[in-house]
């Protein structure tokens, strides 16, 4: 159940507002009382002002509710709607609740420990053509020590939905939901799959499958914070969830029935899925870490590794190293994470 506590009202602020594209920004909140105001303000200060912000408190156990209510009373912005989940639904469930409540031309997603550049909406909309259904931007990564760096995955340009889908499976275009703008009509009825840590990739893959055109731009318009306590960094994807995800990919893309290049792209996605699961276990060392690693090794068959070699040789070699020497792989991965992400 969701309880709405701040109503949505019409908002007119700029000349020509009613003719400008409307955007719904969905902001789930969980355990981010310290950062959520920064996220909210990054949306309220957008240069494109025809938007609605839907904040969804996912039964956050911290002080987020008080912080959000207090800040919204101070800002008193009628474009904001605040809803509270009676029970925790998870990131995917909260986003899906938000999707069912909005009716804007476009939809964007923001995590409550990240921020949008002030021109995120304006530049993303400006990059979209009449046939564009998804716009993807680059982003900066903010590290725990306060430093940040520019990160882009995907060459700037225009792609068909199928091309973007194949690039995502090969990890050559980002899987995230928060660096994208989705045309509402193209994702109508689409929801985030209830899968641990891969809900973004599942949604993006399905959106690309429907898309007429995907535009990738080089502008960094989003600041992603490395949070060791987040779902991404603080949990190990269960093996069953990883298998559910690759089955979801097969069902959505039909790549396993496609051309050799499509099959190779699917193999790369498969290998990367279990590499990520193994890496999380190596980093967090749960009680069943050895069993978890063996399960990941078994999932990366030599047939899949050979196919992956054709699409992403680096991931194929990483998978082979994990199969043959998990101890060495773990040492190298932990050093990589320490140097790259500071955790």
Whether the CB-CB separation of 121 and 219 falls below 8 Å is answered with no
Residue 232 has pLDDT above 60, yes or no: no
Cα–Cα separations (whole angstroms), residue 155 to 109, 112, 218: 22, 27, 8
Residue 32 has pLDDT above 80, yes or no: yes
What percent of the chain is predicted at pLDDT more than 70?
A: 91
Region 113-141: mean pLDDT is 97
Cα–Cα separations (whole angstroms), residue 158 to 72, 90, 208, 214: 38, 33, 12, 6
| More confident of the two residues 305 and 228 | 305
Element (H, E) at 296: helix 289-299
**Residue 223 confidence class, pLDDT cut points 50, 70, 90:** very high
Region 282-304: mean pLDDT is 94
Cα dihedral sign, 27-142-144-328: positive
**Residue 342 confidence class, pLDDT cut points 50, 70, 90:** low
Instruction: Tell me the pairing of strands 213-225 and 132-142.
Output: parallel
> For residue 102, what are its two tokens?
């909005």
Average pLDDT, the chain: 91
Which alpha helices (DSSP H) does 55-172 contain, by range?
64-75, 90-99, 120-127, 161-169
For residue 292, give every residue at least 6 positions away whose Cβ sits within 8 Å of its Cβ, in sequence order, or none.
236, 239, 277, 278, 281, 286
Burial 63-72 (b: 16+ CB within 10 A, else e): ebbebbeebb
Report the C-alpha gap between 98 and 290 in whole angstroms.
Answer: 39
Q: Which CATH fold would you assign to the domain 2-225?
A: Spore Coat Polysaccharide Biosynthesis Protein SpsA; Chain A (3.90.550)
Region 261-289: mean pLDDT is 94
| More confident of the two residues 309 and 194 | 309
Place of tokens 């496609």: 258
> For residue 178, what are its two tokens?
């928060």
Res 77: pLDDT: 97
Q: Where in the chain is the domain with CATH 3.90.550.10?
A: 2-225
Res 156: pLDDT: 95
Place of tokens 């009202």: 9
Res 7: pLDDT: 41
Selection from 83, 33, 76 nearest residue 54 by Cα: 83
Region 253-279: mean pLDDT is 95
């Amino acid at each position: 159940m969701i309880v709405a506590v701040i109503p949505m009202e019409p908002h007119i602020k700029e000349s020509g507002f009613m003719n400008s594209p409307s955007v719904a920004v969905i902001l789930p909140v969980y355990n981010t009382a310290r950062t959520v105001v920064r996220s909210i303000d990054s949306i309220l200060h957008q240069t494109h002002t025809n938007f609605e912000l839907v904040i969804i408190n996912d039964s956050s156990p911290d002080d987020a509710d008080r912080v959000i209510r207090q800040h919204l009373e101070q800002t008193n912005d009628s474009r904001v709607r605040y809803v509270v989940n009676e029970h925790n639904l998870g990131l995917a469930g909260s986003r899906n609740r938000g999707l069912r409540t909005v009716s804007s031309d476009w939809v964007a997603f923001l995590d409550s420990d990240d921020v949008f550049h002030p021109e995120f909406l304006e530049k993303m909309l400006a990059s979209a053509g009449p046939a564009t259904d998804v716009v993807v931007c680059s982003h900066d990564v903010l590290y725990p020590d306060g430093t940040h760096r520019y990160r882009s995955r995907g060459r700037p340009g225009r792609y068909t939905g199928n091309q973007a889908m194949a690039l995502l499976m090969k990890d050559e275009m980002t899987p995230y939901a928060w660096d994208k703008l989705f045309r509402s009509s193209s994702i109508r009825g689409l929801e985030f799959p209830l899968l641990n840590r891969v809900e973004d990739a599942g949604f993006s893959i399905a959106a690309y499958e429907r898309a007429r055109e995907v535009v990738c731009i080089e502008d960094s318009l989003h600041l992603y914070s490395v949070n060791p306590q987040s779902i991404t960094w603080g949990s190990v994807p269960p093996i069953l969830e990883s298998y559910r995800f690759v089955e979801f990919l097969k069902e959505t893309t039909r790549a396993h029935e496609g051309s050799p290049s499509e099959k190779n792209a699917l193999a790369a996605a498969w290998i990367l899925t279990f590499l990520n699961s193994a890496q999380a276990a190596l980093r967090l060392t749960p009680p069943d870490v050895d069993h978890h690693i063996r399960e990941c090794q078994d999932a990366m068959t030599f047939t899949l590794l050979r196919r992956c070699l054709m699409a992403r040789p680096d991931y194929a070699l990483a998978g082979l190293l994990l199969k043959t020497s998990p101890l060495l792989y773990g040492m190298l991965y932990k050093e990589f994470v320490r140097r790259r992400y500071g955790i």
